[in-house]
Amino acid sequence: MLRLSIDEIIEKIQLEEIFEAVSDDYSFTLKIDKYVHFICGAVHDGHQFRKSLWNNCLHSEYDRWFEEDPATKEMVQSFPIVIAGCDSRFEYDLNRAPETAIYTDAWGKQLWKNPLPDSERKYSLEKHTNFYRVVDALVRKIEEIFTVAVVYDMHSYNWKRWNREVPTFNLGTGNIDNNRFGDDAESWRKSLSEIKLPHNIKSTSLINDTFQGNGYFLKFITSKFKNTLVLATEVKKVYCDEYMQIMYPEVVRSIEEQLKVLLLLHATKFYSKHRKDL
């Protein structure tokens, strides 16, 4: 893996080079093993939280982990193109617009003892901006090569806070072109319903049940690239104990192994269908 500046990463994308890199500020990683028509993203996978913020933060390390999406990068790590955040969403949230990316409170609890200095806010927002410079370059290149593209936007969610039964997989489609891509979303939902989990964990999938796909990652790509579908995919945290902070690696691996087949099949069918439209 290389450590590269944002400009160096973008240049390699523009030249269609194969590489794996971490940004020079260690805020995100990008792997491109091959230029293909689909991208996997895990913007909330990160847990890093820079030391200059520690003493000012009212949330514990566990509080932050609880609201992050651990292992979502691992679930798609085998695919050719994977972009993932390294920093905690409590530092800045890549799935929110710049103006709301830095929390003042989080899930009903004040985040900072004192207001963040302008210098800290500026540094966080620079990371946010740089990530989206790379996203823009990456999707632009994939559309240039393949005309159409699909992005699997991987997330997870805490289910024990819900007072009703919630799906193992939730697909948020509120901000995609459903007239054009609705069938593709439904076929992805159906694919997710076929996943079998260890320990007789129930596996279900629904559309817009717990979340509607309102994240900035989806909105940013969808607003700029009309021929790219973003599938905001939420995995219920059955792969860990969200209260005890214990990961279940066998469940994570099971999801990963099955996605190797199901995601690739879905992406192949998507491309076969939509490349004929343009």
List for the chain the helix, strand, coil content (%; round to 5): 40, 20, 35
Range of the domain at 201: 2-277
Going by C-alpha positions, the residue among 52, 117, 129, 59 that lies closest to residue 92 is 129
Give the tokens for residue 252: 């994570």
Whole-angstrom distance, CA of residue 12 vs CA of residue 17: 5
Going by C-alpha positions, the residue among 272, 239, 278 that lies closest to residue 258 is 239
The CATH number of residue 35's host domain is 3.40.630.40
- Quote the number of domains for the chain: 1
What pLDDT sits at residue 278?
A: 61
Report pLDDT digits (tens) over 1-46.
Answer: 999 999 999 999 999 999 999 999 999 999 999 999 999 999 999 9
What pLDDT sits at residue 277?
A: 67
With a CB cutoff of 8 Å and minimum separation 6, the contacts of 166 are 159, 209, 210, 236
Low-confidence ranges of the chain (pLDDT < 50): none
